[in-house]
């Protein structure tokens, strides 16, 4: 039966390798977003009006423009405007990091401001300055509040990285399409099975992450 041909070890291997690319994008993007986002988040707590407006502008722009549109803008834009031929992998990283920084920044800002004023006052009262208070008192507590949101973002990035195939990247969907093309004669219904399989693969990755995020949120709710 054609299904055996379809699910040859080499095919599965290539599909999983493709999935790995997807996860790699998400992982790298989240990592970078975490760093930049934290910085951005701290900046967002500033009282300076101009800074607040600029930050808001950045945040709202990222929220309003669809990710796929951003991918295209930078994929074509970098080439047209700066003559940079960036691979789709790096365009993805760039756009996702822009996205992630904005979201993480907002999460960080929210968690910092939600830390009880008393906690901050106590930190100052024992002689810590702003930066020290931030590092030793506020961050550890913020970490717990940010983590479920960050996990959630990670899961969403994994799903969104499926869009990379549309700017030419060879990730799991592309591999799937290649297998389907090669199998057109032997297994006509390949697309049904392959896409179905990829569908399940995504679910198997994202669902545990969602559960983890929900679990952590419940466990740390009282922190």
Size of residue set near another protein by CB under 8 A: 37
CA neighbor of 54 nearest in space, from 38, 70, 67, 40: 40
Q: Is 96 in the site for another protein (CB under 8 A)?
A: no
Q: Indicate whether 168 belongs to the interface with another protein (CB under 8 A).
A: no
Q: Which of 38, 111, 155, 183 lies at the binding interface for another protein (CB under 8 A)?
A: 155
CA dihedral 39, 25, 197, 151 (to 10 degrees): -20
Quick one: which of 141, 148, 106 has its CA closest to 120?
141
> Which C-beta is closer to another protein: that of 22 or that of 101?
22
CA distances from 218 to 118, 145, 222 (A): 24, 11, 8
Nearer of residues 138 and 197 to another protein, judged by Cβ = 197
Per rule CB under 8 A, is residue 207 in the interface with another protein?
A: yes
Would you give the binding string for another protein spanning residues 29-68, x where CB under 8 A is met?
Answer: ----------------------------------xxxxxx
Tokens of 211: 């559960």
Query: CA–CA separation, 94 vs 113, rounded Å?
Result: 28
Q: Which one among 20, 196, 218, 220 touches another protein, defined by CB under 8 A?
A: 196
Round to the nearest angstrom and report the end-to-end CA distance of the chain: 55
Give the footprint of another protein on this chain (CB under 8 A): 63-69, 72-73, 76-77, 79-81, 155, 159-160, 162-163, 165-166, 173, 180, 188-192, 195-196, 198-199, 202-203, 206-207, 210
């Amino acid at each position: 039966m054609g299904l055996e041909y379809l699910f040859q070890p080499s095919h599965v291997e290539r599909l999983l390798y493709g999935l790995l690319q997807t996860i790699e994008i998400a992982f790298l993007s989240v990592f970078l977003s975490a760093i930049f986002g934290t910085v951005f988040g701290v900046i967002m707590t500033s009282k300076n009006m101009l800074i607040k407006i600029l930050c808001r502008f950045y945040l709202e722009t990222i929220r309003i423009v669809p990710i796929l549109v951003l991918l295209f803008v930078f994929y074509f834009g970098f080439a047209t405007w700066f003559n940079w031929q960036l691979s789709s992998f790096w365009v993805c990283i760039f756009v996702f990091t822009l996205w992630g920084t904005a979201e993480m920044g907002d999460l960080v800002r929210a968690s910092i401001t939600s830390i009880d004023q008393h906690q901050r006052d106590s930190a100052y009262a024992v002689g810590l300055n702003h930066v020290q208070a931030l590092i030793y008192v506020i961050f550890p507590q913020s970490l717990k509040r940010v983590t479920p949101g960050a996990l959630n973002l990670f899961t969403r990035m994994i799903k969104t990285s499926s869009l990379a195939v549309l700017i030419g990247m060879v990730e799991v969907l592309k591999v799937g399409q290649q297998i389907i093309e090669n199998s057109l004669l032997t297994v006509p219904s390949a697309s049904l099975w392959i896409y179905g399989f990829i569908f399940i693969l995504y679910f198997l990755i994202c669902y545990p992450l969602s559960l983890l995020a929900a679990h952590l949120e419940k466990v740390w709710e009282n922190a």
